[in-house]
Structure 1
Amino acid sequence: MTTQSIDALLADINATRPVLEQIANKWSVLILTVVCSEPARFNAIKRRLDPITHKALTEALRRLERNGLVTRRVISSSPVAVEYAITPLGHTLRQPFSVLLCWAEEHGPCLAQAQSTYDNRVIPC
């Protein structure tokens, strides 16, 4: 690979970084996976993603809504409920997220083994 092609690749990566930072964090991927098949209420999402905190879920859902990936609907009931649904734009992430989740499931044990090997290395002082 030439220096020019590496520079072009880095420019492409830098151009997409803001988008990836919005969609590729662990909670966004998992939240979109939960609401991909059907709308879900806040507490149902929270239960499915235990141990996510209330604050972390709220922030992630606001970010996803701001980015046009989920919609928020207030349901008039007692008490008031909020339901989140994936948007058409959010649905475009279904296939790449599915591939990513399959990869994580398949290669998770390899990562765990590599981490264990790294952590157990004796590092001289």
Structure 2
Amino acid sequence: MKKMLSVFLGILTGFVALTAIGGGIAILVELDKFPIEWLDGTPFKSFNIPAILLIVFVGGSTAMATINITLGKKNALRYSIVSGFLLTGFILVEILILKQVPPGPTPIEIFYLLTGIIISGLAFYLLKNRI
């Protein structure tokens, strides 16, 4: 059962890594455009910095977690806990500061918020229940 949960954790972190890195790049090269008005009242003048933060912190941390899970490294679960917190935090900040129309949270934000919580929770469970 624990092996199956570890595989599931690796699939989740891998999925988030790919979508965060891909999504961040899509925003940077303007394949994915959002209304600039959504940034009113935030410290950002464009979506470039949020896109870079998405790539580096969310994509990078989940990629590290995925690699470490795949290789069976000792700290894989700790990387996963941190990556889940970073994803959850990123989405919470996004929900709170963006002036989305209609107002958030959007279904995709809810999906990723829950995914971040599941990643951290599952990794914590596996860490505490090691044999």
More strand by share: 1
- TM-score (norm: length of structure 2): 0.27
* Structure ranking higher on relative contact order (CA contacts 8 Å, 6+ apart): 2
Max Rg structure = 1
